[in-house]
């Protein structure tokens, strides 16, 4: 009987082995490679000539070009520190080339750093460029980019063998990360402390360790509670599937949940995830970026474990892996497409450049258009997206909301006179976007009714610039 | 399965078809307005060879977000025959397949073909199921058998390569037919949670298929409902149904109603079956259906599923568990002295079942509001006598009728997804029908550029006899029959702020 059992087990083992041998990725690998080539083709074809996604980048370029720290066109002090990095490349080349150069450097170095954090399977490295974090790295240059980039270098350095290299590099880059964004910097510090507790030769007893971990958890929680609490936490702004430039992918979350069991005891991921969640409530973008890195690590490990495990049904295993790659690639190619569509339209840019030749005192448009009006038209505006940094912003916001909503010509005229506004810029987004229709209802109505007061001086499909004629 | 059982299950399947045909085919109209929406999709396939994802008539023009499987499946025979009766019959055959699936599940659970046959027969007469799936062509007719089949094949997964292949095939089909695939997915999750609670280890096969099903179903639903997700965010789980409707759905819900809709005998037997089997024996297969029943309870509790749909699933789940109740009852009686009367006892149960399930079912079907000939006449008048661009106001139940029969733009129908400010719109419509002040009503109707008001279903829907401002100079009665009035809005009331 026992011999028979042994024989059966042997046959079973042999079957499993032969299944594993058959599962050698030959055909499967070819399918995935084709999928990737098609996706890469899409990836790079989707990128238009103009590679600036976040309009804030225009403000950073202006900051790098100006020798003054004050933004004279909107009465504020520049808050971004990224201009320091952009200053040098801008001295030797054009804006587009400088941005391209930075993006490529960040992309390649980050890919190398991430490669050290995820399992060493070449196929996994293929999916990394399709994850939200890399799409955000590749297209958006601002303080977050540099802070996270420094954080990755810091994490990479701390895991090196050379003591001095480890110490100097991790200290240097954690400071740089902190300089660009204190919250991401804080997460780097949490990582370093966790590393030290785990790897230090000094004997720390269990109780002490518990206390240290507890205080580590406490820092972000205290910050969340006492410093600042962003109430703008809405689902539509936090997931890439819901068209958010900065967001986590629902698909990646799902895959991470599937693989959660295997990583719940990983102290690094646990500490970083908790800190990431806490930071999310203070600085949403910083939190999202950190969570994206953690997700990427868990997801790549989950995929690897699915590839390595021997499943009872080998075809189902192949189908599941293919499905995993499809979900990641398609969801993020769509994200990329959305990000690409978010670029400022060339027609708007050309019209604003043309408008720079016109004389104008102050211009009003949506606050989202603020950066590009300043950059391309070099005209004074009242508000841009960093409204809270602007002098008397509370009063200005109230007045401008009133100006956009009011259907009374006298109210609007008085407000236009108060801020010495000579021109009004209406873009396609302000008219057609359903969320904006209510927002600019009043001014659109008045422009339509009081045509003598609002004369169009530049009219294109996606943008119209009106001159306000005082009466 | 022996020949006799096959013949018997065939007969039960035929009875299910014949009963539905009896109540469906003689009617020229449908029992619900959603069928008219399906009809528009079929006509779109016939005329344009594609599905209606952008409709100029619904909500006076909006996009749709839906799974195409059912309409494509029905569209193919419609292309060949262009006959509604054939489509009705196909729809009836699809929903009647439920009897066979219930038989398979019950047989698997009880290992007793007679009990399985009785349960299968009983499933024909679940009052809510029969009344809501008779004389209509809606996705639910295909979704219900697919959900049950997916549950059954999930429990059988890994037992043979054919069953495994069938499971994956039907999972694909379910994913492409309805978002109810997510109900199935939640049931699987609930099953794994229940197994964990009971400390029963989940088999490797089940683990593998759960991972696959989860990734696949979530991905497919994300692809098809991406726009809706972007538009409504997390609120998509409430399907953008106006708050008042959700409240009204559930305000009438109480235990007596639930029992009435499900049937008292299946309800009692199922409770007995659940008590005896879930709490006393730990059979892994049972937890799949326990997961299903728990999911439906939670969805109903959180108002995440339409009341009618939830009750249909609940009725079927109770029917499955009632088979276990019957089995346990037989075992119990056999142990007692009443064993001599076992036939009389079961005859009594059967008679009780007929009284409590079959009679209410037939009543429910007869009480169901068919679209009346007067309504059809009025809609045809709109089609012939009003300009093509007119916007017609009707209640939610009349929206699809206006689009399909009158071929005019409606203001509201049951496709709420992707519609912004749905609550404002719903409240404005209520204001137009119930306001005493003409100026307020006309001002609200101007917001949606309404040209005509159809006054028919509003009597029941808002519990009114007539428009209170019908004599106003802003309104003109242009059509009237025994049941329906149509008013033309003559004036405009603009409200300019400040």
Question: What count of CB pairs under 8 Å joins A to B?
Answer: 72
Contact A224, A278 (CB under 8 A): yes
Model confidence pLDDT, tens digit, residues A400-441: 888 888 888 888 898 888 888 999 999 888 887 766 767 888
> pLDDT of A363-386, one tens digit each?
999 888 888 898 888 888 888 877
Per residue in B377-393, pLDDT tens? Answer: 999 999 999 999 899 99
Q: Is the pLDDT of residue B256 over 80?
A: no
Q: What is the pLDDT of residues B105-156, one digit of tens each?
A: 999 999 999 999 999 999 998 888 988 888 889 999 999 999 999 999 999 9
Chain B interface test: which of A320, A413, A414 (most B C-beta within 10 Å): A320
The answer to whether A238 touches B225, Cβ cutoff 8 Å, is no
Distance from CA of B228 to the nearest CA of A (A): 9
At residue A138, the 3 state secondary structure works out as: helix
Which residue does chain A place closest to B208, by CA atoms? A311
User: Contact at 8 Å (CB) between B477 and B486?
Assistant: yes
Q: Does B158 touch chain A (CB under 8 A)?
A: yes
Say yes or no for a CB contact (<8 Å) between B205 and A306.
no
pTM recorded for the entire structure: 0.82
| Consecutive H or E run containing B409 | strand B409-410
A-interface mutation test, from B156, B164, B215, most A Cβ less than 10 A away: B215
Interface of A with B in 212-241 (CB under 8 A): 234-236, 241
pLDDT at residue A258 above 80? yes
Query: Tens digit of pLDDT for each residue in A283-335?
Result: 888 888 888 888 888 888 888 888 888 888 888 888 898 888 888 877 777 77
C-alpha B370/C-alpha B30 separation (Å) is 6
pLDDT of residue A130: 76
* pLDDT confidence of residue A29: 62
CB distance from A442 to chain B under 8 Å? yes
> For B163-192, how does the pLDDT look when each residue is reduced to its tens digit (9 = 90+)?
999 999 999 999 999 999 999 999 999 999
User: Does B212 reach chain A within 8 Å, measured CB to CB?
Assistant: yes
**Do residue A251 and residue B218 have CB atoms under 8 angstroms apart?**
yes
Give the separation between CA B333 and CA B330, rounded to whole angstroms: 5
Q: What is the pLDDT of residues B274-331, one digit of tens each?
A: 888 877 777 888 899 999 999 998 888 888 888 889 999 999 999 999 999 999 998 8
| ipTM, two decimals | 0.79
Average pLDDT over residues A171-177: 91
* Cβ <8 Å between A234 and B205: no
Over residues A153-170, mean pLDDT: 86
A-chain CB neighbours of B222 within 8 Å are 241, 250-251, 331
Q: What is the pLDDT of residue B496?
A: 41
Question: Residue A71 forms beta bridges with which residues?
Answer: A76
What b-and-e string marks burial along B64-102, b requiring 16 or more CB atoms within 10 Å of the CB? bbbbbbbbebbbeebeeeeebeebbbbbbbbbbbbbbbb
How many CB atoms within 10 Å of residue B48? 9
Q: Which residues pair with B409 in a beta bridge?
A: B391
Share of chain B above pLDDT 90, in %: 48
């Amino acid at each position: 009987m026992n011999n028979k059992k042994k024989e059966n087990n042997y046959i079973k083992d042999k079957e499993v082995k032969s299944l594993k041998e058959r599962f050698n990725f030959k055909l499967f690998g070819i399918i995935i490679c084709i999928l990737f080539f098609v996706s890469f083709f899409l990836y790079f074809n989707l990128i238009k000539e103009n590679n600036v996604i976040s309009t804030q980048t225009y403000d950073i370029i202006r900051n790098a070009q100006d020798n003054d720290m004050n933004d004279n066109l909107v009465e504020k002090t520049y808050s971004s520190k990224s201009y320091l990095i952009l200053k040098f490349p801008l001295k030797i080349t054009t804006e587009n080339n400088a941005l391209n150069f930075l993006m490529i450097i960040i992309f390649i170095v980050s890919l190398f750093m991430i490669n050290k954090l995820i399992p060493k399977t070449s196929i996994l490295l293929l999916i990394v460029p399709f994850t939200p974090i890399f799409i955000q790295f590749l297209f958006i240059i601002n303080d977050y980019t540099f802070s996270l980039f420094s954080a990755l270098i810091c994490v990479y350095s701390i895991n090196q063998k050379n003591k001095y290299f480890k110490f100097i590099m991790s200290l240097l880059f954690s400071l740089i990360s902190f300089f660009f964004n204190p919250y991401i910097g804080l997460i780097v510090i949490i990582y370093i402390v966790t590393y030290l507790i785990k790897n230090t030769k000094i004997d720390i007893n269990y109780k002490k360790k518990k206390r240290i971990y507890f205080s580590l958890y406490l820092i972000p929680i205290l910050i969340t509670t006492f410093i600042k609490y962003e109430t703008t936490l809405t689902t539509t702004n936090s997931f890439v599937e819901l068209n958010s430039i900065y967001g986590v992918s629902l698909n990646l979350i799902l895959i991470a949940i599937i693989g959660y069991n295997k990583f719940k005891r990983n102290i690094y991921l646990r500490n970083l995830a908790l800190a990431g969640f806490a930071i999310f409530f203070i600085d949403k973008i910083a939190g999202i970026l950190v969570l994206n890195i953690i997700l990427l690590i868990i997801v790549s490990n989950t995929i690897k474990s699915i590839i390595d495990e021997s499943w009872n049904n080998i075809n189902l295993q192949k189908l599941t892996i293919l499905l995993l790659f499809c979900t990641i690639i398609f969801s993020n190619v769509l994200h990329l497409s959305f990000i690409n569509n978010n670029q400022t339209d060339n027609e708007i840019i050309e019209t604003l450049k043309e408008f720079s030749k016109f004389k104008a005192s102050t211009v009003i448009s949506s606050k989202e258009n603020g950066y590009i009006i300043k950059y391309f038209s070099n005209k004074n505006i009242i508000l841009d997206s960093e409204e809270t940094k602007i002098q008397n912003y509370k009063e200005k916001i109230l007045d401008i909301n009133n100006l956009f909503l009011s259907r009374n010509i006298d109210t609007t005229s008085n407000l236009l006179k108060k801020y010495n506004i000579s021109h009004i810029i209406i873009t396609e987004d302000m008219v057609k976007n359903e969320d904006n229709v209510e927002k600019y209802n009043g001014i659109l109505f008045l422009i339509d009714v009081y045509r003598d007061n609002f004369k169009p001086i530049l009219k294109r499909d996606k943008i119209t610039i009106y001159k306000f004629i005082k009466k | 399965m022996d020949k006799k059982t096959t013949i018997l299950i065939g007969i039960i399947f035929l009875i299910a078809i014949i009963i539905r045909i009896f109540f469906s085919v003689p009617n020229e109209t449908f029992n619900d307005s959603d069928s008219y929406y399906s009809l528009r999709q079929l006509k779109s396939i016939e005329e344009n060879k594609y599905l209606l994802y952008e409709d100029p008539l619904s909500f006076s023009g909006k996009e749709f977000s839906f799974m195409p499987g059912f309409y494509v499946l029905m569209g193919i025979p419609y292309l060949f025959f262009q006959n509604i009766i054939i489509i009705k019959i196909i729809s009836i055959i699809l929903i009647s397949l439920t009897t066979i699936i219930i038989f398979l599940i019950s047989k698997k659970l009880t290992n007793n073909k007679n009990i399985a046959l009785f349960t299968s027969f009983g499933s024909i007469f679940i009052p809510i199921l029969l009344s809501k799936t008779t004389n209509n062509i809606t996705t639910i007719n295909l979704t219900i058998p697919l959900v049950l089949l997916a549950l059954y094949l999930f429990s059988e997964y890994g037992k043979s390569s054919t069953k495994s292949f069938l499971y994956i095939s039907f999972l694909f089909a379910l994913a492409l037919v309805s978002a109810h695939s997510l109900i199935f997915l939640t049931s699987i999750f609930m099953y794994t949670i229940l197994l964990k609670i009971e400390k029963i280890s989940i088999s490797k096969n089940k683990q593998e298929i759960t991972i696959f099903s989860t990734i696949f179903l979530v991905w497919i639903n994300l692809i098809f409902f991406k726009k809706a997700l972007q538009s409504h965010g997390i609120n998509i789980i409430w399907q953008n149904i106006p708050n008042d409707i959700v409240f009204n759905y559930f305000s009438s819900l109480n235990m007596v109603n639930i029992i009435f809709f499900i049937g008292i005998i299946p309800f009692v037997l199922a409770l007995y079956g659940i008590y005896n089997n879930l709490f006393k024996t730990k059979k892994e297969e049972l937890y799949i259906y326990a997961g299903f029943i728990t999911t439906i309870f939670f969805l109903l509790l959180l108002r995440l599923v339409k009341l009618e749909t939830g009750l249909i699933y609940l009725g079927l789940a109770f029917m499955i568990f009632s088979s276990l109740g019957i089995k346990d009852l037989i075992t119990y009686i056999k142990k007692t002295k009443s064993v001599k009367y076992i036939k009389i006892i079961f005859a009594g149960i059967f008679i009780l079942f007929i009284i409590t399930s079959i009679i209410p079912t037939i009543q429910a079907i007869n009480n169901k509001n068919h679209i009346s000939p007067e309504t059809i006449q009025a809609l045809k008048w709109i089609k012939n006598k009003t300009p093509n661009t007119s916007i017609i106001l009707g209640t939610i139940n009349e929206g699809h009728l206006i689009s399909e029969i009158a071929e005019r733009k409606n203001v509201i129908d049951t496709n709420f997804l992707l519609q912004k400010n749905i609550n404002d719109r719903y409240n404005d419509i209520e204001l137009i029908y119930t306001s005493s002040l003409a100026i307020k009503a006309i001002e609200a109707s101007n917001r949606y550029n309404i040209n005509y008001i159809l006054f028919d279903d509003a009597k029941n829907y808002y519990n009114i006899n007539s428009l209170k401002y019908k004599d106003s100079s802003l309104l003109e009665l242009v059509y009237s029959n025994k049941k329906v009035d149509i008013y033309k809005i003559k004036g405009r009331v603009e409200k300019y702020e400040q």
